[in-house]
Structure 1
Amino acid sequence: MGERGAGPTARPRRAPLNRGRIVTAAMELADEKGSAGVTMRATAARLGVEAMSLYNHVTGREDILDGMVDAVFAEIDLPSPQANWKTAMRARASSCYRALRRHPWAVGLLDSRGRPGSATLRHHDAVLGALRTGGFSVSMATHAVSLIDSYLYGFVIQERSLPFVDAAGFDGGAEDSLRDLPADTYPYLAEAIAAQADEAGHDHGEGFEFGLTLILDGLEPDGVSASRTDRGGRPAGHHGEPRPQATPPARH
């Protein structure tokens, strides 16, 4: 018998489409183009399928956004039940900061979803639990989370808006502003801009930790402030020793 000719090369089997793959592809798009770049058509193209096939696994774009937000929350470390509330809040905020730097589009979406997923609910419950078991009332715990998250989201937004592009320094517009600013008229502003220029390209994580320390040092479980304050308005037992303060981030 003669040898049979080799048949056509088999195409590699494509991984089956599912909700997880759709959400992952959408997050990749958002990381590159922002959340506005996430459309049903663009997500399908990323996966190499037709847009209509996505509807077998998601109800639409909003459903995908819900999944993206839940995936970001899943990346954030949950507060350790063994840690005290301040250590737990610091670790959680730092982990959230790192996640938002990876996915800056998520800042405006994290608290906007009407159908939170399981990772989102688990995260919020653990954060509130760390504060409640640390002595915070329900009201104070929710206020503390709001305060920390307002700082966290605001810092990421501001960081993304700074006119520094890399270690080489300012971009063109910022360089012009620095060069044209009359130091004799705006001495403190010129000084501040020059200092920021020196820090261009440096990791702003140190600045984030500095501000976070100030916030956490200002929070106390309900009743602690009153019990630690004498009639003169000073902490009870205070003998003039300075309160530990956050150390400003070193400049590079």
Structure 2
Amino acid sequence: MAETWNLLRRMGQKKIDQYKESFQRSGRERVDKDLPLGIRMSGIVEIPQVDFILGGDQLKIKHPGDANVVISYGHFPVGDSVVHRFYLDASGMVYVLQIVTDRTNTVEECKLFMPYDEVIPDDWEFWLGERDGYIGYEIFDIKDGTRYFRVWDSDRKTVVEQDDQGNQITRIPPMEYMETVYLSPWGEESETVKYDSMLYGRQVNENLDEYLLLSAVSEKDGASVQIMVGIELQPASIKVI
């Protein structure tokens, strides 16, 4: 994995003592009240191991460990739903627990993502070109040749090429969103991050699927293409302390 995940690195440098000092300075109401599963910044999240055991060495995402501190929280709307992102300090690497809730705050989706790779493009058109940009392409291959297939769909398809069997390979526009990321539980430290993303997936075995989130990410320290690999979790299996 590249070393330039600037925002994630800054998150990892945050300490619980800094959160305490922030509270003493601000006196504000916490921004992480009443969030899914009762997760709060500086709390502990334990991720179950069963799916990682089922996936074995075929999984690109690795188990984050037994006790992971929530070091940051972000959110953004998608239609009538809200995407909540909890950034977990997993032995020096920052994982993302992503929980989607509907308008009644019922959990619709729960996935865990791990940073896998990053590219600093010389040619942004290759990734975001309106007709054939790679983000939104029907298939995505990582460096070792493992292939993932586009999960999200749209009526706005363009035909990019045909394979050897004459099947059309299409592209759809990536999903654009702006995430507000809080670096403090009381909201005085925050950043806005822009994404152009597409979700891909593959069947690892008959019991398990793995996901790949491919995103062009723009934040205050620069821009890059970031690849995260993920797995779906049952919300009830996650232990929150």
TM normalised by structure 2 equals: 0.24
- The structure having more radius of gyration, on CA atoms, is 1
Bigger proportion of residues as helix: 1
> Higher relative CO (CA 8 A, sep ≥ 6), structure 1 or 2?
2
